[in-house]
Structure 1
């Protein structure tokens, strides 16, 4: 295929909004003898344009110690709380009060219905009439009090307690959520389609807005479900989150398979995942191999004239029924067809297999393989590097070609620019570490691997022109045999894992190399109006296209052990589809701690379905499944425009309040997973892991070139080096997840002979432009040392990696003093205003003296990197960090 030029547009709206008012909640206290009052909290609501002062808020509560759960089944369960006196008890917090008792149901759960007057209350669960065994929020023994608000006029509130999980659900703030369906009678319910059966109550113990129910008791077969609220059919949601919508079909593949129902209260989407675990045989499209026969399947919604040719014989394909798919045609060809090429045809025209796991390069032919059966060379997968919270990640973007293609990489000649070149250990250049050893020395936790599936252009090219979504790119391979190519990619992932580094794939499901890739199968793969800027944007609004993307994502997680995905132009995709993809994979592979994030814009096109797409304003709805976005607003606030010659905050100008807001992780005004009316709001993150913070990426001028293009001079030891360290230091000390572009850590430049125009869009530039030149690590050693030190500090400092919306608002304040930004952070939710970290970002040419809270403080990071010093002076054009001893 010929190389195809496409212009990558990156220009999201970057306007800022006015500050909100600060609201003070009412305070409710209790005098229970066993209580330990909870410390006060402090909420600082900030927005990008104006710094808002924080207001101290006192909160009261009850914390009760708990003994280990009793082995015997409970004989009584009650609801001690601040509403007890209102229901006839002699006082509040009475675990033995008769009026506060729940009644055991036939399914083993406990239920009560109480008439409560208007007001705000807190309560817990007590077992057997005493405080010996009690449970709080999330079913935690002796856990936090559970809050409940009854609206004006009062209401009858239903409570359901599950003795297995110890989670209690009430329907005051949120009606009881039930997974109703034609399977319920087999789960202890009196009848199917029962909205009032407590056996299938869905719970949200983590408070994320996503309610789940899981069981292994539904027999194999095809079933249907819907979600009901309030234990009646008055409010129910079906397929697509539609109120009163169609039944949601699902298939349980075998008796004993675990089936998990998931309902998002913000979007009303309900999804069902049923499987026997990650090793269950796939029942999907493509070429499904066994040693006795291969089943070929393809989606063809417009034509029944479908065939597959393999071994010189053409086999007609006939319509088949397959759960979760429509308009599928199938042929089963007997014999052992491993490594045999095959060709699909629709209406006599040769077409590629969108599900092909291996292809014959330069053709539309697939190759029959069994990817799952190919083991890494070590014989098995290494343990995946731990990721306790996604905010702990430090991501490093690289190209398989650019990272090692230059001889200075020290990589063996045959591996340069190849998958295995990325993981060759022991490489050096003039005494400094290169390649994967360099990454380990730098301290990053994950690589973001630029497109590595089969693409249409030839290298050097970054590969944002996909052809086959499920096949490793042959130009990055040393091998031609199918199994060798599969094993090579697996060996790469496995080696990264063995060296403590996770692998995130950069995926390009928003368009294809040309429209002819899928167009001869059906035009329904593509949108009517191009949204990608390439003329061939993919329409995941079609359920079968969305399913293809989900199946491709699972292919890489299941068979190649990757750890997450960065979605190119995620703004082309519907946010509900993005939710479903992430939710399915997080549910099916719960041990993986997968990461999902992407660009919340499209290729610059007007979209009639804008409000339904991935945008900053729809990101809150994706918080429950940990789907984040590149924070272009924060990027521009720090560096200025992507390709212009005007610097923002890092150059001493711009809007420091916007930087202060970005340092807090760009949180939403309220802790809510509802979508926002302003699709381009800078306040979009309901969780800190939703903001991917960066100042440089493969697109546009890289960081050092942006600085020199804007007039910065002096190299590593001059003003340019100072500005570079200030910019990345700001990112690495901000809440959220930092992303670093390859080579920025030693002032990589893509400017050759003064040619900044090529450097602005170097996607297909020669190696003289894009290759990493490892001598830069020696020339600019001080820059590398700073990046290494700042990353180490971030990874060692919990206050720089807060994990919740409430932690951001309660435990962090920011201040703008002239052009300088000061952040004060506490890592302890129990002492939210006892700050243990202070970050000062000073973009001015003079030193800044900061006022530190009381205590003993040590300066641990300055303009040069790690330090250990006293005093309050902060270097010019630098980020300075202080920690409390």
Structure 2
């Protein structure tokens, strides 16, 4: 079929009157079908008219044009808002994208065309179609009048006192000046309302039709009662009738202003299944399809677009009644899809479970969180829920091994040494970093870096079977760590999912077009709604589970600006938490076209205000060499002392600034010492002990290999920044089974024979454990090892090297920056050194064997030695 070219049909207001006859003649070209009302509910409603080409249709009077389609609302009505230019226009309502069924003026089937005039400058015109009366109205011919009150969230609005929520709009269907709205969705109770005009509070009417007057109270006698609101455009009086009752007396006591914070059950400003005892609000992001539904309780409910501050493309419906613990299933384009915001799920399905995790409390209520003055005061210990307690040597009850509550069972021992949480207390760490503990796809034993549901505790780590029980169990774990004085950091994996099938049934916009994670399905937080999902998930764990921070897997997949937003928001919203936030500043080993905008060493200065840090891989490599090779650097007497000096200073910027660096991999990157997480071993790759023995060091725990281990860890624990160790390193944990180092290099899905922590190693390597414990205690008692700013390190710390031997002098007093009170010597040589100490009397407090107290001022071979001024 040949299509004539489109021509502009914009008309000025001055020409509007002259064009009326022309427009009327044009309507004669439209099939004027005398349709009758259909008993079936429409599947589509549109507004074909003379303005269709102005809104992007291929021609006018186009009932099937996508831009002219209305969207069904929760109240059953259909609406759309179109930006129309100035002029006089004509339109009708067409059903199911054809002229077979159409309605004109006053809802008449096949009735007269409706005209509207748009003033100079154009206007956003809202059209509303009522399938019960077949009337189609617009706010150019009539005002938009909303019954705005404290009941609106109950009937599907995003919140109460919302003048812009058209779910409670009142319509003048017959043009007599009386606007009405009826609903059966308001629960029994006493409520308040006002009439708001044109979707704002600029013009509103309260009791007795008074402009800006007192709120109008009314009572709904029973659930399901019909409540009708009527507003007269002449008198401005709003009346309400519910059931057999009438509008309360105008003398009713005024209630709070509609702009006040609403009380009573309201839907939170987020997505997912938002539960109250009266109703559940279901919301999901669907930017590509309007075919959005939710199935719950045996009924499937259509969802409609909703305007929600901070979100776009969201669909919503409100289902009345208490749906707690019921499963629900979102459907988009007829396909079952997962709820990215689900707070609980039916394992093995895409079904969510209606529950309010914020309403669940741990057993006995929340304990006091451990206080911390500065993030540099932290000593972080990484562990896996299963690996830490699954071995019988953990002493944990059989039912709790490998479970959340196994991590916090007290009183456990093996061969006379403390295990589990009592071991952590004895060691002296301040924070535990728990490897993935949200819902993941793989079957344990597996570390779980394949997320399914970001906001749900992993059921394989839980003993509970009920939804509330699983939530409470995780809360109880956090609570018990807090009671022990230990903060909890979650290892989170927002950079990818278990597969694209996790979210792409909703929209492909969750994922990067080019994989950046090495897993084939990296998440694109460059989409604002994906970034907001991550921020909302982080807040969920802080708010409902009381966690104290986050470790980001492959933080480098994410945009630095988004990371800054997440951290800034959380710290501003929860200022008392001193949240610890850090991650890996690299992606999955692929070329990233957005490299300069991603989280890298070079963008770390821009994250300073958000208190976000990164793993210092450059310092790690300077100390120990590669993660999987057999080359040892400084910890075995080689490497580059200048790289070690840079790392022990917290890898601070050469020039203090929060601007991004031109080199994304500049190893001098930190604006603040808290941004450098220092480590030589983590769950990935070889454990520290395996790296040392793989590289050829011999002599066992009491020989050179053991001395190298203590030397490397001693450097981490005496450097500026945040020290990090991983489970079992403190007693020489090995993952090598039968001499197989290859499986130990990447044991994410190896069995318990490889990954389980064997607590007999603690008894066998008691001297190594004592060293770690002593070095941690020294750090915690020595302010000079925990300086808290770029200025403090720059002014109060001085490092020099003589050959490979590094001597660092530190003052803990900013008022006397060169009055050094602590000296740290790194000696990687095979001979005893005599460092030059500042004037005064000094005591050696740490050597290769741990804590000591000696007037000897030498530094032994292959050792970190710490001196304190008397």
State how far apart, in whole Å, the 2-side matches of 1:817 and 1:295 are. 68
Instruction: Give 1:661 shift.
Output: 1.1
Tell me the residue number matched to 1:315: 301
State how far apart, in whole Å, the 2-side matches of 1:499 and 1:710 are. 38
Instruction: Give 1:578 shift.
Output: 0.3
State how far apart, in whole Å, the 1-side matches of 2:846 and 2:816 are. 24
- Tell me, yes or no, if the aligned pair for 2:267 and 2:274 is still in contact at 8 Å: no
Say if 2:271 is the partner of 1:297: no
816 and 280 in structure 1: CA distance in 2 versus 1, 3 angstrom threshold = farther
State how far apart, in whole Å, the 2-side matches of 1:422 and 1:550 are. 27
Instruction: Give 1:714 shift.
Output: 1.7
For the residue of structure 2 that corresponds to 1:715, the secondary structure is coil
Aligned partner of 1:840 among 825, 839, 845: 825
For the residue of structure 1 that corresponds to 2:830, the secondary structure is coil
Matches within 5 A, 1:762-801: 762-801=747-786
Tell me the residue number matched to 2:837: 852
State how far apart, in whole Å, the 2-side matches of 1:637 and 1:880 are. 19
322 and 709 in structure 1: CA distance in 2 versus 1, 3 angstrom threshold = same
State how far apart, in whole Å, the 1-side matches of 2:789 and 2:377 are. 13
Tell me the residue number matched to 2:154: none
Tell me the residue number matched to 1:335: 321
Aligned partner of 1:567 among 552, 577, 583: 552
For the residue of structure 1 that corresponds to 2:660, the secondary structure is coil
Matches within 5 A, 1:529-568: 529-568=514-553
Aligned partner of 2:391 among 383, 406, 419: 406
Matches within 5 A, 1:69-88: none
State how far apart, in whole Å, the 1-side matches of 2:162 and 2:408 are. 45
Tell me the residue number matched to 2:273: 287
- Tell me, yes or no, if the aligned pair for 2:717 and 2:775 is still in contact at 8 Å: yes
839 and 276 in structure 1: CA distance in 2 versus 1, 3 angstrom threshold = farther
Say if 2:442 is the partner of 1:457: yes
Post-superposition Cα deviations, 1:801-859, rounded to whole Å, max 9, x if no partner, equal 00000001000011111111111100001111111000011111111111100011000
Aligned partner of 1:421 among 406, 411, 425: 406
State how far apart, in whole Å, the 1-side matches of 2:310 and 2:419 are. 47
State how far apart, in whole Å, the 2-side matches of 1:427 and 1:597 are. 31
Identify which range, 315-324 or 568-577, moves more after superposition.
315-324
State how far apart, in whole Å, the 2-side matches of 1:334 and 1:221 are. 19
Say if 2:662 is the partner of 1:677: yes
For the residue of structure 1 that corresponds to 2:551, the secondary structure is strand
Instruction: Give 1:482 shift.
Output: 0.3
State how far apart, in whole Å, the 1-side matches of 2:750 and 2:261 are. 46
Aligned partner of 1:758 among 743, 746, 766: 743
State how far apart, in whole Å, the 1-side matches of 2:792 and 2:439 are. 42
Post-superposition Cα deviations, 1:34-78, rounded to whole Å, max 9, x if no partner, equal xxxxxxxxxxxxxxxxxxxxxxxxxxxxxxxxxxxxxxxxxxxxx
Tell me the residue number matched to 1:525: 510
Q: Structure 1 stretches (4+) deviating beyond 6 angstroms?
A: 219-223, 274-277
State how far apart, in whole Å, the 2-side matches of 1:651 and 1:281 are. 60
Say if 2:426 is the partner of 1:441: yes
State how far apart, in whole Å, the 2-side matches of 1:585 and 1:519 are. 28
State how far apart, in whole Å, the 2-side matches of 1:598 and 1:727 are. 21
State how far apart, in whole Å, the 1-side matches of 2:799 and 2:447 are. 39
Aligned partner of 1:373 among 355, 359, 375: 359
For the residue of structure 1 that corresponds to 2:780, the secondary structure is helix
Tell me the residue number matched to 1:811: 796
Aligned partner of 1:361 among 325, 347, 351: 347
854 and 749 in structure 1: CA distance in 2 versus 1, 3 angstrom threshold = same
620 and 429 in structure 1: CA distance in 2 versus 1, 3 angstrom threshold = same
Aligned partner of 2:477 among 474, 492, 504: 492
Measured on the aligned residues, the alpha-carbon RMSD in Å equals 1.8
State how far apart, in whole Å, the 2-side matches of 1:275 and 1:303 are. 34
Aligned partner of 2:684 among 675, 692, 699: 699
517 and 821 in structure 1: CA distance in 2 versus 1, 3 angstrom threshold = same
874 and 281 in structure 1: CA distance in 2 versus 1, 3 angstrom threshold = farther
Tell me the residue number matched to 2:703: 718
Tell me the residue number matched to 2:807: 822
Instruction: Give 1:220 shift.
Output: 9.1
Instruction: Give 1:673 shift.
Output: 0.6
State how far apart, in whole Å, the 2-side matches of 1:675 and 1:387 are. 29
Matches within 5 A, 1:50-449: 282-378=268-364, 380-449=365-434
Post-superposition Cα deviations, 1:610-633, rounded to whole Å, max 9, x if no partner, equal 010000000001011110000000
Aligned partner of 1:709 among 694, 704, 712: 694
TM-score w.r.t. the length of structure 1 is 0.69
For the residue of structure 1 that corresponds to 2:706, the secondary structure is helix
Post-superposition Cα deviations, 1:692-736, rounded to whole Å, max 9, x if no partner, equal 000000001110000000011122101110000000000000000
Instruction: Give 1:275 shift.
Output: 9.8
Instruction: Give 1:480 shift.
Output: 1.1
State how far apart, in whole Å, the 2-side matches of 1:493 and 1:687 are. 28
State how far apart, in whole Å, the 2-side matches of 1:855 and 1:530 are. 59
For the residue of structure 2 that corresponds to 1:875, the secondary structure is coil
485 and 572 in structure 1: CA distance in 2 versus 1, 3 angstrom threshold = same
Tell me the residue number matched to 1:651: 636
State how far apart, in whole Å, the 2-side matches of 1:275 and 1:566 are. 35
Instruction: Give 1:634 shift.
Output: 0.2
For the residue of structure 2 that corresponds to 1:519, the secondary structure is coil
State how far apart, in whole Å, the 2-side matches of 1:849 and 1:665 are. 25
State how far apart, in whole Å, the 1-side matches of 2:830 and 2:856 are. 19
Instruction: Give 1:221 shift.
Output: 8.3
State how far apart, in whole Å, the 2-side matches of 1:500 and 1:372 are. 23
275 and 438 in structure 1: CA distance in 2 versus 1, 3 angstrom threshold = farther
State how far apart, in whole Å, the 1-side matches of 2:636 and 2:722 are. 23
For the residue of structure 2 that corresponds to 1:506, the secondary structure is strand
How many positions carry a matched residue from both structures?
616
State how far apart, in whole Å, the 1-side matches of 2:269 and 2:593 are. 35
Larger relative contact order, structure 1 or 2 (CA cutoff 8 Å, min sep 6): 1
Tell me the residue number matched to 1:227: none
For the residue of structure 2 that corresponds to 1:485, the secondary structure is helix
529 and 845 in structure 1: CA distance in 2 versus 1, 3 angstrom threshold = same
State how far apart, in whole Å, the 1-side matches of 2:859 and 2:765 are. 23
Post-superposition Cα deviations, 1:102-130, rounded to whole Å, max 9, x if no partner, equal xxxxxxxxxxxxxxxxxxxxxxxxxxxxx
For the residue of structure 1 that corresponds to 2:844, the secondary structure is strand
Say if 2:725 is the partner of 1:740: yes
Aligned partner of 1:506 among 478, 491, 495: 491
Gaps of 5+ in 1: 1-218, 224-250, 252-273
State how far apart, in whole Å, the 1-side matches of 2:734 and 2:641 are. 27
Identify which range, 624-633 or 711-720, moves more after superposition.
711-720
Tell me the residue number matched to 1:193: none
Instruction: Give 1:282 shift.
Output: 2.8
State how far apart, in whole Å, the 2-side matches of 1:862 and 1:669 are. 31
State how far apart, in whole Å, the 2-side matches of 1:280 and 1:734 are. 50
276 and 884 in structure 1: CA distance in 2 versus 1, 3 angstrom threshold = farther
Instruction: Give 1:669 shift.
Output: 1.2
